A and B are shown apart, each in its own frame.
Chain A
Amino acid sequence: MEAPPCRQLGELQPEQERSSSPVVGLSLCDSAPLLWRIQDLKAVRSSGLVGALLGALPRTPRQNIRLGRPLLLLPEEERLLRERHSAAALPARNQDAVGTELQQRYEEEEQRSYEEQSILALEDRRSALLRAMTSSSGSESGVGSDEALQGRLLALGQSFTFPRSALAVQLSTARAGLSHCQEARAFLQVDWPIREQDSPRREARYQVFRDLRGRGFFLTSAGKFGGDFLVYPGDPLRFHAHFIAVCLTLDESICMLDVLCVARLGSNVKKTVLLCSPAPDGPVHYTSLQWSGMV
Chain B
Amino acid sequence: MADQNKTESANNFYNEILSPCELFAARSRSHKLPARGQKDFYPDDSEEQRQRLQQSLDEHWRLISEERVERLGNLVKGVWIPSERIVELQSPAGKFWQTMGFSAEGKQYLLPEEALYLMECGNLLVSHQDLPLSIQDGYEMFLSADAVSLQQYQVFGHLKRLGYVVHRFDPSSEPSSYARQLNLPPSRERGGRQLKRKRSPSPTPTCSKGESPAEKMEEDDKLPESHLPTSAEPPEPQSCSSGSAAEAGARTWWMTDVPDRQADKRPSPGSPSARSRWNFSAIPFPDLGSTGRPRSVAPPHPSLLPGGVTVGVCDVASWMRKVNLREVRMSRKEEERERRRRRRDVNKDREVQRCRNWAEYHELLARRQAAREGRPAHLWSGEVTPLHDPTQPISTAELLEKISVITSTNLLEGASRLKGSEEWRICFNVYQPDSVADFKKSNPGKPYTRMCVCSFDGPVPDLRAIKQLAFQSGDVLVVFAVVDHGDISFYTFKDFQLPRDVYP
- The answer to whether A and B assemble together is yes
* Residues of chain A having any CB pair with chain B under 8 Å: 6, 27-32, 34, 36-39, 41-42, 45, 52-70, 72, 74, 92-93, 95, 98, 102-103, 106, 109, 112-113, 116-117, 120-121, 163-182, 220-221, 223-224, 233-235, 237-240
Q: Contacts A42-B61, A165-B73, A237-B53 given; indicate if A98 touches B129 (C-beta within 8 A).
A: yes
Q: How far is the CA of A38 from the CA of B149 in the complex (A)?
A: 24
Residues of B255-291 at the interface with A, using a CB-CB cut-off of 8 Å, are none
Residues A121 and B24 in contact, CB atoms below 8 Å apart: yes
**Interface residues in B115-132 (C-beta closer than 8 Å to A):** 117, 119-122, 125, 129-132
Q: Is B105 positioned at the interface, with any CB of A under 8 Å from its CB?
A: no
Q: With A29-B139, A52-B487, A64-B158 as known contacts, state yes or no: A69 contacts B20, CB within 8 Å.
A: no
| Contact status A70-B131, CB under 8 Å | no
Q: Which residues of A contact B42 (CB under 8 A)?
A: 233, 239
Q: Which B-chain residue is minimally distant from A98 (CB atoms)? A: B129
On whether A54 and B135 interact (CB within 8 A), knowing A30-B149, A59-B31, A167-B71, the answer reads no
* Alpha-carbon distance A29/B153, docked complex (angstroms): 12
Among residues of A, the one whose C-beta sits closest to the C-beta of B158 is A64
Q: Smallest CB–CB gap between A230 and chain B, Å?
A: 10
Specify which of A59, A62, A180, A221 lies most central, judged by the most chain B CB atoms within 10 Å of its CB: A59
> In the complex the two chains form, is A74's CB within 8 Å of B161's CB?
no
> In the bound complex, do residue A168 and residue B26 qualify as a contact, i.e. CB atoms below 8 Å apart?
yes
Q: How far is the CA of A112 from the CA of B4 in the complex (A)?
A: 12
Give the interface size bracket for B toward A: 35 or more
B366 in contact (CB, < 8 A):
no
Which residue on A lies nearest to B139, using beta carbons? A29
State how many angstroms separate the Cβ of A180 from the closest Cβ of chain B: 7
B484 touches A237 (CB 8 A): no
Q: Judging by beta carbons under 8 Å apart, are B20 and A112 in contact? A: yes
Against A, the Cβ 8 Å flags (1 = close, 0 = not) of B55-84 are: 011001101111111111101000000000
**Which residues in chain B, 128-185, are within 8 Å of chain A measured between CB atoms?**
129-132, 134-137, 139-141, 143-145, 149-150, 154, 157-158, 161-163
Contact of B72 among A103, A166, A224 (CB under 8 A): A166
Flag the segment in B11-19, B323-331, B413-421, B435-443 that touches A. Answer: B11-19
A70 to B16, CA, bound (A): 14
In the assembled complex, which residues on chain B have CB atoms less than 8 Å from the CB atom of A45? Answer: 57
Could you tell me if A37 and B145 are in contact, using CB atoms closer than 8 angstroms? no
A39 partner, pick from B14, B26, B134, beta carbons under 8 A: B14
* Residue in A74, A169, A180 whose beta carbon sits within 8 Å of that of B2 in the complex: A180
Interface residues of B in 87-129 (CB under 8 A from A): 117, 119-122, 125, 129
B40 on the A face (CB < 8 A) = yes
Asked whether, in the complex, the Cβ of A59 is within 8 Å of the Cβ of B20, the reply is: no
Q: Which residue of A lies closest to B152 (CB)?
A: A30
CB <8 Å contact, A64 and B161: yes
For residue B399, CB closer than 8 A to chain A, the reply is no
Q: Write the chain A residue with the least CB distance to B23.
A: A168
CB <8 Å contact, A174 and B136: yes
Contacts of A171 in B (CB 8 A): 67-70, 119, 122, 125, 132, 134-135
| Cβ of B428 to closest chain A Cβ, rounded Å | 16
Contact B130 A163, beta carbon cutoff 8 Å:
no
Question: Inside 8 A of B65's CB, which chain A residues have their CB?
Answer: 38
Minimum CB–CB distance from A50 to chain B (whole Å) comes to: 10
Q: Is the beta-carbon distance between A176 and B13 smaller than 8 angstroms?
A: no
Query: What secondary structure prevails in chain B residues at the interface with A?
Result: mixed
Residues of B within 8 A of A238 (CB): 39-40, 43, 49, 52-53, 56
Q: Residues of A contacting B139 with CB < 8 Å?
A: 29, 34, 70
Nearest Cβ on chain B to A244's Cβ, whole angstroms: 13
Q: Is A169 in contact with B16, judged by CB distance below 8 angstroms?
A: no
Contacting pair A170 B64 (CB below 8 A):
no
Do B150 and A30 touch across chains, with their CB atoms under 8 A apart? yes
Check A67–B486 contact: CB distance below 8 A: yes
Given contacts A30-B145, A234-B43, contact A169 B125 (CB under 8 A): yes
Check B359 for interface membership: any CB of A closer than 8 A.
no
- Is B448 located at the chain interface by the 8 A CB criterion? no
B140–A93 contact, CB under 8 A? Answer: yes
Q: Which chain B residues lie closer than 8 Å to A61 at the CB level?
A: 120-122, 161
CB atoms of A239 and B482 under 8 A apart: no
How far does the alpha carbon of A242 sit from the alpha carbon of B43 in the complex, in Å?
12
Contacts of A113 in B (CB 8 A): 20, 23
Q: Cβ of A109: which chain B residues have Cβ within 8 Å of it?
A: 7
Q: Which residues of A contact B129 (CB under 8 A)?
A: 95, 98, 103
Is B1 a contact partner of A178 (Cβ separation < 8 A)?
A: yes
A223→B482 contact, CB < 8 A = yes
Show 23 A/B contacts (Cβ-Cβ < 8 Å), sorted by A.
Answer: A29-B143, A41-B61, A52-B485, A55-B157, A57-B64, A61-B161, A72-B485, A98-B129, A103-B130, A166-B71, A169-B71, A169-B72, A172-B16, A175-B136, A178-B2, A178-B131, A224-B484, A233-B43, A234-B40, A235-B53, A238-B43, A238-B56, A239-B43
Rounded to whole angstroms, the CA-CA distance of A182 and B288 in the bound complex is 95
Cβ-defined contact, B57 with A237, below 8 A: yes
> Chain A residues near B68 (CB, 8 Å)?
58, 170-173
Set of chain B residues within 8 Å of A173, measured between Cβ atoms:
16, 67-68, 134-136
Complex Cα gap A29–B112 (Å): 14
B323 to chain A, nearest CB (A): 60
Q: Which residues of B contact A37 (CB under 8 A)?
A: 16
Bound Cα distance from A39 to B61, whole angstroms: 10
A179 touches B161 (CB 8 A): no
Q: Are A170 and B18 in contact (CB under 8 A)?
A: yes
On chain B, the residues within 8 Å of A240 by CB distance are 39, 41
If A41-B61, A168-B72 are given as contacts, then 17 extra A-B residue pairs at C-beta distance below 8 Å, sorted by A number, are A56-B157, A57-B33, A59-B33, A60-B32, A103-B131, A106-B132, A121-B24, A168-B70, A171-B68, A171-B134, A174-B16, A177-B134, A179-B131, A233-B42, A235-B56, A235-B57, A239-B43
Q: With a CB–CB cut-off of 8 A, which chain B residues contact A224?
A: 482, 484, 487, 489
Q: How many Å lie between the Cα of A103 and that of B128 in the bound state?
A: 11
Asked if B27 lies at the interface with its beta carbon under 8 angstroms from chain A, I say yes
> Within 8 Å CB of B14, what residues of A?
39, 182
Q: Which residues of B contact A121 (CB under 8 A)?
A: 24
Chain B nearest CB, measured from A15 CB (Å): 22
Task: Verify A32–B150 contact, CB threshold 8 A.
Answer: yes
Asked whether A234 lies within 8 Å of B16 as measured between CB atoms, the reply is no
